[in-house]
Structure 1
Amino acid sequence: MDEQGVRGSGSPPTGRFRRGAAWWRSGPPWVSRWGAEGGRDGGAAWPWPSTLLLTVFVLVGSSFAAHGQEGERAALDPFARVLLLVAAGLLLWRRRHPVAVLFGTSAAAATYLGAGYPYGPVFLTVAVACFSAVVAGHRRAAWAAVGALWAAHVLVAHWLYRWLPPTGDAAVSWGQEAVVLAWVVAIMAVAELARARREQWARDRAERAQAARRRADEERLRIARELHDVLAHSISVINVQAGVGLALLDSDPEQARTALTTIKAASKEALGEVRQVLDNLRAPGEAPRAPAPGLDRLPELVTQAAGAGLTVEVEGEPPRLPPGTDLAAFRIVQEALTNVVRHSGSRHARVRLDKAAGTAGDPRGAALRLCVDDDGPATGADAGGSGNGLAGMRERAAALGGTIEAGPRPDGGFRVLAVLPLDGATAKEGER
């Protein structure tokens, strides 16, 4: 709130099939109603390339496996190839319906195994479906499906093999079962690792996005604070001088001319500072064309306040300060004097500068103390406070690890006291 308040109260969803898009990226036209990229359920893209590659590998690899196991396992027939196509083709939906695809590929593989067809790449389809389910977060379903498939393999290999093709098949050794179990555990472990890494990447992206939003918010607040300090001070001076000029326009034209000259100078300075802020926005990587204001411009503030009818008495010499601290100190004094002009009945203010040395009992070390006093009560006239003045001063001080105290004095009047630490100020600015 301003001093007046303190005194008075104490893409659009994409995914439709696009004309000219490559079919291996977007899918054929008959799946356009599901969405080539987003799908009806907002899922991921159709994995056409990998599914096609896996289907070819499973079919060709199973043919080679059948030649190698000829006489030991049943030969590949059309039913076997249909099972292979179903197991591999289901993988097209693994990103949208991972659980259903996992159980479907497991059922196809179990049927393929129970029919006595050759061992081979058909189990790769189960591994890929299991991996997708675990990465999607369906861990229990993945363990259940893989466990059911392994149990079916044990049942067929050690009991049902007597009644199932091929004829004369023998039981599988438990050593081979241990190898199959080791492969299952390895696949699940890799899938769990991929899921953990994917979740970590998602957290990292979310943290980076949050940090970017926080930096954008801080920059927006900094710009709003800077514009408020520049405009509030200059417009207050312009407002006072415009009132003087209107009052003296007929009786004292020379004094009215002086008021208009002050208005011109104040507006020119405000335009220059606003232009500098806008230039920094348009070219954030470039160095500012003019140095940021600091306490070395305190005499200008005194002169501008005098033009608004306020006499300012300055005590103490401005010390050498880091750029950020110097700018904050200048803006705090500027806002405090602006509030005196706008909200105080006093036409006299005092600005006191003290540099306190660090002591053993003060962990902050050296600090700059800024004190702005006036003796007048709140006028309540033409306040126009936006509620951002004192809040902006507190934000500037807090950014440097300092404090602001603002409020009525016990003996009357109003005081703004700022304490800005000097030790570590440069480091804090570097962190921002």
Structure 2
Amino acid sequence: MRDRFEASLPVRWKAPLVAGALAVLSPVLFLAPRGVPAAAGRPLVAALVVVQAAALWWLGSRPAVVTAVAVASGAALQLLVPQAGPGIALVVLCTFAWLRPARTSLWAVPGAAAAFAATAGHGAMALLWPVAVVLAWSWGALGRAWAARRHAEARRMVLEERARIARELHDVLAHTVSVMVVQAAAADDVFDTSPEKARQAVRGLEASGREALVELRRFLRTVRVLEEETADDALEPQPSLADLDRLAGTVQAAGLAVRVVREGLADADVPPGVALSAYRIVQESLTNALRHARASTAVVTVRARDGLLTVEVRDDGTGGGRSAAPGAGQGLAGMRERAALLGGTLEAGPGPAGGFRVRARLPLEDTA
């Protein structure tokens, strides 16, 4: 799988990194170089220290180049001052493995291992430094993997939240706006022949518009709880099964006769999340019937039995073209997502006796 995680070093870390490297490497200046006169060796050691530390300034933007410079200068430093080892080259290598994917940084492992083994001479150090190189690179690669996993999880949560907001916004506005469109069309049809009926339709249109604004404000308060208020104070109650009669009245005013049937709900304890999902499923089903099915009647049945809440919406419209109607597919997908999030199922399709039927089965235990 391709590594798409992008790691970076903040710009504000440049100066502290260089200063810290100089502080860590400064004791090397007091060690006597090996194999060269002190008069020439000390300036060379000082130059290597400065090169290693100064290269860190570009570690965030050019980690591969900085790693090559750090390894080369670290190997030369180890050759001159064996007690100092490779300096900060291992730290740079670890950072390189964290900043870039493994396929990009892996080349540095054999190169650094060979360079440090060759300059360490004979004995245990010739084996120790290659092992240290592998461990340094592995630690950086492991840190990158952890960071990438956290980034992927955060991105997944953001995408899920966006999908939830889009679904809620669709459910909140699609029904009311659809009713407004139907009422506006009805007013236009009877504007000349029956001004009174047209006026009633316009009044219904105004009422639906106000309801849409109320629903939108409620939705926005749900998504964005004000910091100075608690969640309980900032949120208004969400629609539930008790609001189905009001919903049916709104749809009926737009021209679709709706009958609500309740079975076994008197003693059933319906969790708020289940009740809200059931309400939204009924709302979307009636919206589709009103917009796309040319239905005249619809029956909403809500039944609680054996730990399940069954919601069924049947209409007498033309069910065959429902899924192909503009916007209907998104509504059906949203209903299925709602049911699945609660551990339930949803079926939608032409009814046995004609029309269209939507049936959802939701566990009465709110598992969302």
Q: TM-score, with normalisation over the residues of structure 2?
A: 0.79
Rounded to whole Å, the distance in 1 between the matches of 2:35 and 2:285 is: 93
Q: Supply the distance in 2 between the matched residues of 1:344 and 1:98 (Cα, whole angstroms).
A: 67
In the TM superposition, residue 302 of structure 1 has moved relative to its aligned partner by: 1.2
Which residue is 1:56 aligned to? 26
1:28-427 map, 5 Å: 47-62=17-32, 77-92=38-53, 93=55, 95=59, 96-107=65-76, 109-110=78-79, 112=80, 123-133=83-93, 136=96, 137=106, 138-150=108-120, 153-154=121-122, 177=123, 181=124, 183=125, 185=127, 189=131, 192-283=134-225, 286-287=230-231, 288-317=234-263, 318=265, 319-357=268-306, 366-377=307-318, 384-385=326-327, 387-423=329-365, 425=366
Distance in 1 of aligned mates of 2:248 and 2:301: 13
Cα separation, 1, equivalents of 2:295 and 2:77? 90
Superposed displacement of residue 292, structure 1: 0.9
Distance 1:355 1:248 in 2: 43
Superposed CA deviations along residues 119-154 of structure 1, whole A, max 9, x for unmatched, are: xx554252432453366342212221122123xx34
SS of alignment partner, residue 351 of structure 1: strand
Q: Partners in 2 of 1:290 and 1:134 — Cα distance?
A: 52
d(CA) in 2 for partners of 1:402 and 1:384? 26
Separation (CA, whole Å) in 2 of partners of 1:353 and 1:123: 81
Q: Distance in 2 between matches of 1:133 and 1:225?
A: 46
SS of structure 2 residue aligned to 1:126: coil
Gaps of 5+ in 2: 1-7, 60-64, 97-105
Post-superposition Cα deviations, 1:69-120, rounded to whole Å, max 9, x if no partner, equal: xxxx88953112133224323313375332344234424543x4xxxxxxxx
Distance 1:335 1:75 in 2: 85
Q: SS state of the match for residue 140, structure 1?
A: helix
Q: Cα gap change, 1:141/1:75 in structure 2, threshold over 3 Å: closer, same or farther?
A: closer
Q: List per-residue Cα deviations over 1:164-202 (Å, max 9, x = no partner).
A: xxxxxxxxxxxxx4xxx1x56555555544433333332
Identity %: 36
Matched pairs, number: 334
| Aligned residue in 2 for 1:157 | none
Q: 1:317-340 CA deviation, whole Å, 9 max, x = no partner?
A: 444321211111000000101111
Larger Rg: 1
Verify the 8 A CA contact 1:240 1:308 in the aligned structure 2: yes
Q: Give the stretch that moved more between structures: 393-402 or 127-136.
A: 127-136
Contact 2:116/2:129 (<8 A) preserved: no
2-side partners of 1:191 and 1:108: how far apart? 16
Q: Displacement of 1:416 after TM fit?
A: 0.6
Contact conserved, 1:400 with 1:421, CA < 8 A, in 2?
yes
Q: Which SS does the other structure have where 2:42 is aligned?
A: helix
- TM normalised by structure 1 equals 0.68
Residues 131 and 191 in structure 1, CA contact (< 8 A), matched pair in contact too: no
Q: 1:25 to 1:343 in 2, by over 3 A?
A: closer
In structure 2, distance between residues paired with 1:394 and 1:260: 34
2:99 paired residue number: none
Question: Secondary structure of 1:388's match?
Answer: helix
Which residue identity lines up with residue 250 of structure 2 in the other structure? Q
